[in-house]
Amino acid sequence: MKRILITGTGLGPGTITQEGWKALNEAEVWFGAKRVLELFHGAVQEEKITFPFYAQDRIIKEIEQSASQRFAVLVSGDAGFYSAAQELYRALGQQRRYSVAIIPGISTVSAFFARLGLPWQDACLFSAHGRDITGLSAAVRRNRRVFCITAGNTKEISALLGDTGFSSVTVHVGENLGSEKERMFTTQVGALGSLSLASLSVLVFENDDPDDRIRFGIADEAFSRLEGIPMTKAAVRSAALAKLELRPGDTCYDIGAGTGSVSVEMALAAHKGQVFAVEKNPDALPLIHENRKKFKIANMSLIPGEAPAALAPLPKVDAVFIGGSSGNIQEIIQGVCAKNPETRMVITAITIETVHRVLSCLPQAELLQLSAAGSKKAGAHHLLIGQNPVFIMTVKGRGE
């Protein structure tokens, strides 16, 4: 039976484990990125047949055609950390005529934290290598330490975090770790944009004031306001968002975003997802952007236009809040359901006529009428000031 060992090579020959060296020495054939193969060329006991690629289909093809019996796939760092090893392991494991195993290695995470003299058991791990970097802002906001793999995109990372209020956060930079060109230094996020760093750079962000609270019903006074732009009040907002049962990775719409208060709280809850704030009033768009920046949010996009037409280019949705419909509530509901008939949906209304239109096309909706009053100090006393009663209608997203 042919033996294939997917081997983590650490940061290079100086950091590979004894088990890793044994796998490389015993293998007749090596696969891996050209850079990794070159690091180990001449470092083992005998010459090897090498193939400078790690695409699973090409590896399987070569193994099937080869007369050799022992193979090693070299992966940098540890095979279990943002590596192609897992897909390759599954693909090779389906070929029952092969024996496949993974040999762990020293990851850039453990190596860089060790060089910094810092623990990493509570660190958030993030990859900006070939991935959407939007979620990095939420990771930095929610965690004291964040480790980040880059791909020569540190200028984009600096711009994203700077735009969401993290320019002064401390960042440790590790460049070309394990090589002769290794360099380490500490700076602030705002300075990353002016630096030219190697693509093989990793970052550790240290946020001294992380905030991972789940925040429903943020005080109305915390938001920037503009006369004439409506806002869903805290009491209604907290009840409506609780009904939506948001998950961290949800894609959300806030239709009729107004000041953006619901969009902000959606983005804080769905911090690994994306929120689309749909608003037709051009005067409201700068206000929504201001509140987005005020709460240091990157996973929230402004969509100018009127629903349902404005929904057409948006991705499939998981959760929708409709706070304003301009009389198009039935068409909006149809547009949302066309995107995903299993969408979880919460609709608020202040008129009985709107409630009637919603229930006529969503008869299964749960209906809640909420009346709230807030206190106001009057001399030595406190008065309760009533808010308009609001109807909250909820559909649980079972494809009804």
Mean pLDDT value across residues 360-382: 84
Domain(s) labelled CATH 3.40.1010.10 in the chain stretch across 2-106
Mean pLDDT value across residues 354-368: 92
Top-level class of domain 220-395: alpha beta
**Cα(248)–Cα(147) distance, rounded to whole angstroms?**
20
The per-residue pLDDT for range 314-345, each reduced to its tens digit, is 999 999 999 988 888 999 999 999 999 999 99
Domain(s) labelled CATH 3.40.50.150 in the chain stretch across 220-395
In this predicted structure, what is the pLDDT of residue 238? 94
The per-residue pLDDT for range 197-218, each reduced to its tens digit, is 998 899 999 999 999 988 889 9
- Cβ atoms within 10 A of the Cβ of 159, count? 16
- Cβ atoms within 10 A of the Cβ of 388, count? 10
Joined together, the tokens standing for residue 128 give 């900006």
CA distances to 317, 343, 344, 346 from 340, in Å:
6, 5, 9, 14
Q: In the β-sheet with 29-32, what is the strand arrangement from edge to edge?
A: 49-51, 29-32, 70-75, 2-8, 98-103
Mean pLDDT value across residues 370-395: 82
CA distances to 55, 90, 164, 283 from 20, in Å:
21, 20, 43, 62
Q: Is the peptide bond before 308 cis (omega within 30 degrees of 0)?
A: yes
The per-residue pLDDT for range 183-196, each reduced to its tens digit, is 999 999 999 999 98
The per-residue pLDDT for range 68-84, each reduced to its tens digit, is 999 999 999 999 898 88
Do 229 and 259 form a contact (C-beta atoms < 8 A)? yes
Instruction: State the CATH architecture for 2-106.
Output: 3-Layer(aba) Sandwich (3.40)
pTM: predicted TM-score of the whole model, two decimal places = 0.85
The model's confidence at residue 95, banded by pLDDT at 50, 70 and 90, is low
Strands 170-175 and 201-206 come out as antiparallel
Mean pLDDT value across residues 133-155: 95
DSSP string, 328-397: -HHHHHHHHHHH-TT-EEEEEESSHHHHHHHHHH-TT-EEEEE--EEEEEETTEEEEEEPPPEEEEEE--
Top-level class of domain 109-206: alpha beta
Question: What's the gap between Cα 373 and its chain centre?
Answer: 37
Residues 6+ apart with CB under 8 A from 112: 147, 172, 174, 177, 202, 204
Residue 399 has pLDDT above 60, yes or no: no
First-residue to last-residue Cα distance in the chain? 53
Candidate from 91-95, 149-153, 162-166, 193-197 with smallest mean pLDDT:
91-95
How many angstroms separate the most distant Cα atoms in the chain? 92
**Cα(281)–Cα(323) distance, rounded to whole angstroms?**
14
